Chain A
Amino acid sequence: MHISEGVLSGPVLLSGGALAAAGTAIGLKKIDYDRIAQVGVLSAAFFVGSLIHVNIGPSSVHLILNGMVGLLLGWGAAPAILIALVLQSLLFQYGGITVLGVNTVIMALPAVICYYVCGPLIRKKTSIAAVGAFAGGFLSVFLSAVLMAAALFFTEKNFWGVAAAVIMAHLPVMAIEGVISVFCISFLKKVHPAILPNYSG
């Protein structure tokens, strides 16, 4: 999920950039050096995962996965997402330099929120964990859509229609990400629970 170049106003671009820099700095600080390989290789896995297309009806959407990134990497999500966006722009031309900050905030802030809100839930027993995982997938995309709408609205009041459409258009994606994240978290808890931060038992 990203905003194109050329759309946003200067103040929005600059505050996005500043927020992203701060988040990335915190994230880097929280990754001590024996976690570098872990965060790096997992970021690569997220990058590949976000290329997966799933069907909805006759069309298909690609996964966003920022909720999963947050649940697995915590604050590390900020640098991980920044890096993924840079790689996307280099390899696929999704956006350039000026929107990098805003797009990082749009994706990473919800990821970190999910880590704090849903992270404790997914460590619980099955049914609560499932609710937490669904919320993680759903909420992260919802919040990203809201942030995206906000960036548009603060640029130009007349964008409110587009902003509302952004949120509406992502509703099915939210549901799918929720479902995917339920199955994915249950998979991880069964197969390799050590991958979840602060997981015990």
Chain B
Amino acid sequence: MIQETFAIGDSIIHRLDPRVRVVFATLFSFLVALSDRFPTLYAAFGISVLMIIPARLDIREAGKRLKTLFWFMLLIWMVLPLTFEGDTIYRLGVFAVKRQGLVLCAQITLKAVSILLIFMALLSTMNINTLGHTLNRLSVPGKLVHLFLITYRYIFVIEEEYRRLRTAIKIRGFKSGTNLHSYKTHAYLLGMLFVRASIRAERVHEAMLCRGFHGRFYSLDGYKPSRKNRNFSIIMTAAIACLTFIEYYPI
């Protein structure tokens, strides 16, 4: 089952204006992605870890989500130091561990973890429909936002349909394997999902027409500016300024 685990909560972060969160998460992420110096990366890592505290994330759940990253990290730590061209700092038989490879692995790891943590703290803590409307107010086109919200809305309906079809093939003795019968069955289930989605979409469109839809999209969200938003904005601006300074004006 698809769930928005972090969206439910009542931390300081949850109560911040979503626009502020989207803007700073984006700025912070790009700054980190474009930085190379270790002092900057360490500082960014520190900030993102600290950010988890006011967001009151479930640590275990956060760890589970970082796990998708873990396997990728394991792979690069095993491959890059050996395949990179550069100065050998350690030799083990035919394998030569290169310094440049290790440095790159460390950079990637710090960047990836920092960006994902800030994402979890600032963005995963809002409802997806809130995010949709926020993007709209940040001048993302209404059509795209509307598409986004419809997609999100119907994922759950279609996932239910998919699960019922899975049950249907299971009780008729289906076991997935590496053979044409299995692939064909999966393809048919998929085809069925598409057909039903397409026919449902016609009805959804009709329902929209019945309620006066004529191509315009409206949004109902409204967050009032508050002192908390201002304080958070000041803190984040300062943090980003510091990171930029460290990166581009090394002492």
Tell me, yes or no, whether A and B come into direct contact in the complex with CB atoms closer than 8 A: yes
Chain A positions near chain B (C-beta within 8 angstroms): 4-8, 10, 13, 24, 28, 31, 33-34, 36-45, 47-49, 51-57, 60, 63, 65, 68, 72, 79-80, 82-84, 86-87, 89-94, 96-98, 156, 158, 161-162, 176, 179-184, 187-188, 191-192, 194-195
Measured between beta carbons, the chain B residues less than 8 angstroms from A60 are: 176
With A36-B143, A41-B204, A97-B115 given, is the CB distance from A4 to B84 under 8 Å?
Answer: no
Measured between beta carbons, the chain B residues less than 8 angstroms from A184 are: 187-188, 190-191, 194
With A34-B205, A43-B147, A55-B176 given, is the CB distance from A195 to B155 under 8 Å?
Answer: no
Residue on A with the closest CB to B104?
A156
Chain B positions near chain A (C-beta within 8 angstroms): 2-4, 25-26, 29-30, 32-34, 65-66, 68-69, 72, 76, 79-80, 83-85, 100-101, 104, 107-113, 115-116, 118-120, 123-124, 128, 131, 141, 143-144, 146-155, 157-159, 162, 176-178, 180, 182-184, 186-202, 204-205, 208, 213-215
A44 and B204 form a contact (CB under 8 A):
no
Residue on A with the closest CB to B205?
A37
CB distance from A126 to the nearest CB of B (A): 16
CB distance from A121 to the nearest CB of B (A): 18
With A87-B152, A90-B131 given, is the CB distance from A41 to B198 under 8 Å?
Answer: yes
| A-B contact list, 29 entries, CB within 8 Å | A5-B33, A6-B109, A10-B34, A13-B34, A24-B144, A31-B147, A33-B214, A36-B150, A37-B204, A38-B202, A41-B158, A43-B147, A44-B155, A47-B155, A49-B193, A52-B189, A55-B178, A65-B190, A79-B147, A86-B148, A87-B148, A93-B65, A94-B68, A96-B118, A158-B84, A162-B79, A176-B183, A182-B187, A188-B191
Measured between beta carbons, the chain B residues less than 8 angstroms from A37 are: 150, 201-202, 204-205, 208
A97 and B29 form a contact (CB under 8 A):
yes
A192 and B4 form a contact (CB under 8 A):
no
Measured between beta carbons, the chain A residues less than 8 angstroms from B186 are: 52, 54, 63, 180
Number of A-B contacts (CB under 8 A): 233
Which residue of A13, A48, A53, A93 is within 8 Å of B193 (Cβ)? A48
Interface of A is mostly: helix
